[in-house]
A = this chain, B = another copy of it.
């Protein structure tokens, strides 16, 4: 492995000049720059990351903390991850992958040992124990999600409250008045996962504003969970003409159950989902849905991190506006 000294010698300049060519932090004449670049190319020089980090206090590495719980949303997480990696690369950064189960100590480890310049943390909970630790780090942090007390930390996410309102507005516009929300599993609510609560709040509020008759119900996973959820809904709010489903796993069994019960979608009952685009498209009936834009959120997280690293200002909460895409699962209610 050639070093910067080898390059300097080959180009007939001093090492610092090579460094300045690389970083552009001081003006270098065109001829010198060309000679240096030629030497770099010829020797196949790559600056030693550790040496660089030591001298500059910058690693050009981001930490990404992902949940490794298998129970939910694995593809979504993977989408986030690849979006983050891809976006980070456009800013000349790499990504160190951490799992949530390392907890607070994992964050402190990589931060204190200066392995990373900044952190992106997914799957934050309402009273996430990691938040206080993150506040103390010298590296900036961006959360994907919204904790109970976001003060001192920058957060990005989809605007789930707006997403809920959007689904109801769409259904109301189609003429629906009695609508039920099939929510995530009770475990998700128990964990205090913020997007669940924000969606719920948005749903309730928009329902009141639009003067709709609605109800909400969490939904356990599996065929059984969906079955009992639907039964509860029929009992509590008979004559429901539309369902808003904020639960990826329930989608497939839900469609199965409806079909088994002889209720056609969308003729007898409309369905609007909140899920990633490919899930909405991968079902027997392409679902009208508010897409969860993992890719965009991941990209936004990286952009925000970069802003912070540049010392630029940024709002402390950035919510992406939802977009509802019409597909085939929504119609006017049967009279």
**CB atoms of A82 and B68 under 8 A apart:** yes
Interface string of A1-14 (1 = CB under 8 A from B): 10000000000000
A118 interface hit (Cβ, 8 Å): no
Distance from A152 Cβ to chain B, minimum over Cβ atoms (Å): 20
How many chain-A residues does the 8 Å CB contact rule pick out? 48
Distance from A121 Cβ to chain B, minimum over Cβ atoms (Å): 15
- Cβ of A113: which chain B residues have Cβ within 8 Å of it? 46-49
**CB atoms of B97 and A95 under 8 A apart:** yes
Interface string of A230-242 (1 = CB under 8 A from B): 0000000000000
A79 interface hit (Cβ, 8 Å): yes
**CB atoms of B96 and A94 under 8 A apart:** yes
- Cβ of A109: which chain B residues have Cβ within 8 Å of it? 46
* Residue in B52, B89, B98 whose CB lies within 8 Å of A50: B52
Distance from A71 Cβ to chain B, minimum over Cβ atoms (Å): 9
Q: A interface, by DSSP: helix, strand, loop or mixed? A: helix
* Residue in B50, B75, B102, B112 whose CB lies within 8 Å of A74: B75
Interface string of A46-71 (1 = CB under 8 A from B): 11111111100001010010101010
Distance from A272 Cβ to chain B, minimum over Cβ atoms (Å): 22
* Residue in B54, B79, B98 whose CB lies within 8 Å of A51: B54
Between A54, A101, A138, A278, the greatest number of chain B beta carbons within 10 A of the residue's beta carbon is seen for: A54
A85 interface hit (Cβ, 8 Å): yes
A38 interface hit (Cβ, 8 Å): no
Interface string of A286-311 (1 = CB under 8 A from B): 00000000000000000000000000
- Cβ of A115: which chain B residues have Cβ within 8 Å of it? 49, 61, 94
- Cβ of A98: which chain B residues have Cβ within 8 Å of it? 85, 94
A320 interface hit (Cβ, 8 Å): no
A134 interface hit (Cβ, 8 Å): no
Question: What residue in chain B is nearest A53 (Cβ atoms)?
Answer: B50
13 interchain pairs (CB within 8 A)?
A46-B109, A46-B113, A50-B59, A68-B82, A74-B74, A78-B78, A78-B81, A82-B99, A94-B96, A94-B97, A94-B110, A95-B96, A96-B96
Q: Which 8 A-B pairs have the closest CB atoms?
A: A50-B53, A46-B112, A68-B82, A50-B54, A97-B97, A46-B113, A74-B75, A50-B50
Supply 14 further A-B pairs (C-beta < 8 A) apart from A1-B112, A49-B114, A81-B81.
A46-B113, A49-B53, A50-B52, A68-B82, A68-B85, A70-B278, A74-B74, A74-B75, A77-B78, A78-B78, A89-B99, A94-B110, A94-B115, A96-B96
